[in-house]
Homo-oligomer: A and B are copies of this chain.
Amino acid sequence: MLPVVVVHGGAGHCPKEMSESAKKGVCAAARAGYEVLRGGGSSMDAVVEAVTQLENNSLFNAGCGSVLNIKGDVEMDALVMDGQTLASGAVAAVRNIANPVQLSRLVMDKTSHVCLTAGGAQQFAESMGVPLVQQESLITDYARMRWRQNLAPEANPVECQMGKMGTVGAVAVDVHGNVASATSTGGILNKMEGRVGDTPCVGCGGYADNRVGAVSTTGYGEAIMKVTLARLILFHMEQGNTQSAHKYAGEEDHEFLLSALRSVGRGSQRFSPGLHEVQSGRSRWGGDSGPSRSLGRSFLQHPDVLGCSSGRCSALRSVRGGTPDREHHHPTMTSKY
C-alpha cells in the first residue's frame, strides 16, 4: 500500500505576516513524516515525527510556541493512537516538556495506562530519561505579548483566541495499511490553570482504527468534546461504507448530526471555523461543490474520499485493496491552515 500522511497546523486565524512561514512549517512536517513512511517506518513513527516538527516550530501552538494559561505558564496536552491495536497514549496539562507528543507515545509504549497528567506525567518523563526543559524555552515573545494583552480588562474573550494558530496534528497510513493519529497543543490562550481540552481525550482530539481510518481534530476543544468529534467522524466514515448506512442517515439523523454540529459552533463560530473548513476539504478532495451543512454528512456523501485536509481538521480513511488515484496519494497532503 502506498503510504500517506496528512498534517494540519491547527484551527485559528493565521496572521498575514506569518502565513508563508507557517505554510512552510506544515509542508516540512508532512515531508518529514513521509520520509519516515518511505523508509519503511510505521504510521505511528510518521505522525510522531510530523507533530514533533511542529512542536519544535515556534509558529505553532504546541511545544515551543504554546499559548500561555491565565498565570502565564505553559501547560500542554497531547495524544497518539495506534489504529492496529486501538492503544493510545496521552499527557494532559504537562509542563517543561519540549515534545509532549513523544511523551504520549512513551505513556502508550511503556506504561499500562493511557493518560498521565501534571506532576505525574513529569515524573514519568524523568524516569524515562526525557529531559525537563526550562519553561522559558517554550515561551515566545509573541505568546507572552498576547497573554499580557488578554489580561487587560477590556480584552474580548472571543477575539483573544484569534491571531494564533491552534492545535497541530497528523494522521497517516503506512505500507502495511496501519493507520495512526497524533495531536498536540498548548490549549486555549489564557485558559484556567489545569484546564484539559479535547486533545488528550481519546475520541475527541483524535482516534485511529485500522478498520475505518484516523482523525486528528483541532478547534474549540470544549465544543469538540460535546460531540466526541474524532469518534463521530469515524462512525460516519464507517457508515459511508454501506448503502444501508446511507439509508440510515436519513432526514432525522441528519438533523441530529446537524444539531450536534451546530452545538459545536454555537455562539462561537470564530472559535471553531474548522467545522466549516472541513467542508472545503471535502470539496477539495471529494469533488462535490454542492452546499453542505454537516461534517458527518460530507463523509456520508463521499464514501470514497480518501483524505480530507483543511488545516482545521484532518481525516484519513484507510483504503484496503483497489488502486487509489495519484492525487489522493500525494505524499504531502499538507494543510492550507
Contact = CB atoms under 8 A, between A and B. Distances in A.
Interface of A: 85-88, 90, 92-93, 111-121, 123-124, 157, 191-198, 201-204, 207, 209, 211, 221-222, 225-228, 231, 235, 238-239, 242, 244-245, 247-248, 250, 253, 256, 259-260, 263
B235 A244 contact: no
SS of A interface (majority): mixed
Given A242-B250, A244-B248, A245-B248, A196 B228 contact: no
27 contacts: A86-B227, A86-B260, A88-B226, A93-B120, A112-B157, A115-B196, A116-B192, A116-B194, A116-B196, A119-B193, A119-B194, A120-B192, A120-B194, A123-B194, A124-B194, A201-B203, A201-B204, A202-B225, A202-B226, A202-B228, A203-B225, A228-B231, A231-B231, A238-B253, A239-B248, A242-B248, A244-B247
A116 B191 CA distance: 10
Contacts of A157: 112
A114 B187 CA distance: 13
A227 B120 CA distance: 25
Nearest to A195: B113
A196 B242 contact: no
A73 to B, nearest CB: 10
Given A194-B121, A228-B203, A245-B248, A222 B116 contact: no
Contact of A196 (B92, B112, B198): B92
A121 B119 CA distance: 13
A207 B227 CA distance: 9
